[in-house]
Chain A
């Protein structure tokens, strides 16, 4: 257990569906991340939230919409996805000090998404 939980663990959706992925961290961290891991590819950073503000958006298609209502929760809203969006979606958190500096990110177990 890393202190980062993700739900659901598995999700199958059609291309016309709307669904949301949820991430919750119990570590008191102030930064949260969404990553995508496709089969046999490196992890791709999608979004970064620091102090509940989005600070990074790596050219992610608008069919992925993140939301960070507070420092403990992060959502990824999905709509009109494509089959190539099938992947493992990972959430992570870290603590960023006011002086700048983080040591490590703590990852959740991921949501395995299949788009039909």
Chain B
């Protein structure tokens, strides 16, 4: 499975857009990009996933580069409740074995 690289931590001002990058240069053609987040002491929460087109839902937007070697998760108006560890994962659909890395710890600052 493709590996991902994320910055260990980021800060974002409340109300501003949080842009979380993820590199996945070894991604293969059938692998999707998934994002989860984990708020302190809770279970991870699914956010969004995509293959090659940009995706948007009520929580976030996912921008995948044309070569699919990197992606960015965008939280359009970060709130204090968005403070969490964000995980970028790649794998084929039907992928039971989700491997979580260290993720990016996002701190939203008042």
Contacts and interface: CB of A to CB of B under 8 A. Distances in A.
Q: Report the interface size class on chain B.
A: 20 to 34
Most B Cβ at <10 Å: residue of A4, A92, A112:
A92
A33 B91 CA distance: 17
A48 interface: yes
- Between B49, B98, B102, the greatest number of chain A beta carbons within 10 A of the residue's beta carbon is seen for B98
A90 B44 contact: yes
A42 interface: yes
Interface of A: 2, 4, 31, 33, 42-43, 45, 48, 50, 55-56, 88, 90, 92, 94, 96, 100-110, 112
Contact of B96 (A2, A43, A102, A106): A102
Contact of A104 (B41, B49, B102): B49
Contacts of A112: 41
A90 B43 contact: yes
Contacts of A88: 41
Contacts, number: 58
A102 B94 contact: yes
Contacts of A104: 34, 36, 46, 49
B22 to A, nearest CB: 15
B97 A45 contact: yes
Contacts of A102: 93-96
A103 B93 contact: yes
Contacts of A105: 44, 46, 98
Contacts of A106: 46
B76 interface: no
A43 B44 contact: yes
